[in-house]
Structure 1
Amino acid sequence: MSAVMEHVDVAVPIRTAYDQWTQFEEFPQFMEGVHEVRQLSDTMTHWTVEIGGVKREFDAEITEQLPDERVAWRSTEGSRQAGVVTFHRLDPEHTRVTLQMEFEPQGVVEQAGDKLGVVDRRAKGDLERFKQFIERRGQETGAWRGTVERPTP
């Protein structure tokens, strides 16, 4: 398994940053290689992505979601991937968004890309584009304020 951890500070209140992040279908507007995300239910999403010229589709489950705090997920099929995005109030108008992700590169292209730091750079770029997206808008495109409790082991 490989891991990535990146963060970005955005000039919007924590609620605005969090609410925008819950709009998964908007991800293709700021995430490189993400062609489509469909919200199937409160806890399931279907992703169409392209990595190193290889198109992949997979489902991901929201495993924990706490308004203004965190969104955690894991893939339910295909290559293993899991992560969490946390939101930290810096002051009333600024929020730190931190992405932590673990993934299992598949195939020669993904393994080589991982060794070359491609995933780290993509994650950093995605967060920078999220910053530009939300700061330019100044408000979220929608919100889901529900809670998903982490399953007990």
Structure 2
Amino acid sequence: MSTLEEHIDIGAPLDKTWDCLHRVDSIPQYVDGVREAHLEGKRTHLGLDAGGTSRELELEITDRTTEKVMSWKTTTGPELSGSVSLLPIDQQHTRVQARFQYEPSTITDSFGGPKGLAQVHAIENGVRSDLQKFKGMVEHER
């Protein structure tokens, strides 16, 4: 299992950032390849366009609200998991720490794309880009 960890500092209070993180319908605005996202009961349904293939995934999301940690894992499709932790920097700034766990062969088998080190770089770049888009969304929301 491979693990990727990235973080970004956002110019918004912790509670606002936490609220934005939990708006399922806004996921396509900041996660590349997600064309739709919505709740189905207690699970989050994602429609993906990745590697030239259209796929559907279901996620189970759990929160540790007092610690401001949201964890997720797939319940259908490839076995993927991760977490997002929010840490206050000060009253107007929040650090977002993202952790993504995956099996490299699962990513290649399910979504295509590069293998080996090229795959690692593609995933790293994707997570960094998604965090930048999330930052932009949170900071520009009123």
Q: Do the two structures share a fold, i.e. TM-score over 0.5?
A: yes
Q: Which structure has the higher relative contact order (CA within 8 Å, separation 6+)?
A: 1
Q: Which moved more, 1:109-118 or 1:94-103?
A: 109-118
- Aligned partner letter, 1:20: C
Gaps of at least 5 residues in structure 1 are 139-153
Q: 1:124 to 1:114 in 2, by over 3 A?
A: farther
**Cα distance in 1 for residues equivalent to 2:116 and 2:34:** 17
Q: Is it true that 1:136 corresponds to 2:129 in the alignment?
A: no
Identify the residue that residue 129 of structure 2 maps to in structure 1.
125
Q: 1:113 to 1:25 in 2, by over 3 A?
A: farther
**Cα distance in 2 for residues equivalent to 1:20 and 1:52:** 27
Q: Secondary structure at the match of 1:112?
A: coil
Per the TM alignment, residue 23 of structure 1 is displaced from its structure 2 partner at its CA by 0.5
Identify the residue that residue 117 of structure 2 maps to in structure 1.
115
- Aligned partner letter, 2:36: E
Q: Please list the CA deviations of residues 59-95 of structure 1 after superposition, one character each: whole Å capped at 9, or x if unmatched.
A: 1101334156111011001100111000000000000
Gaps of at least 5 residues in structure 2 are none
Structure 1 runs of 4+ aligned residues shifted over 3 Å read 108-111
- Aligned partner letter, 2:122: V
Instruction: Point out the structure with the larger helix share.
Output: 2
- Aligned partner letter, 2:114: A
Q: Is it true that 1:44 corresponds to 2:43 in the alignment?
A: yes
Identify the residue that residue 30 of structure 1 maps to in structure 2.
30
CA contact (8 A) 1:18 1:67 kept: no
Q: Secondary structure at the match of 2:31?
A: coil
Q: 1:113 to 1:24 in 2, by over 3 A?
A: farther
Q: Please list the CA deviations of residues 80-131 of structure 1 after superposition, one character each: whole Å capped at 9, or x if unmatched.
A: 0111000000000000011101123142864625631111101100000111
Q: Is it true that 1:11 corresponds to 2:11 in the alignment?
A: yes
* Residue identity (%): 27
**Cα distance in 1 for residues equivalent to 2:8 and 2:96:** 5
- Aligned partner letter, 2:65: L
Give aligned pairs, total.
137
- Aligned partner letter, 1:131: K
Q: 1:34 to 1:72 in 2, by over 3 A?
A: same
Q: Please list the CA deviations of residues 120-144 of structure 1 after superposition, one character each: whole Å capped at 9, or x if unmatched.
A: 1011000001111111114xxxxxx
- Aligned partner letter, 1:102: Q
Identify the residue that residue 83 of structure 2 maps to in structure 1.
84
- Aligned partner letter, 1:63: T
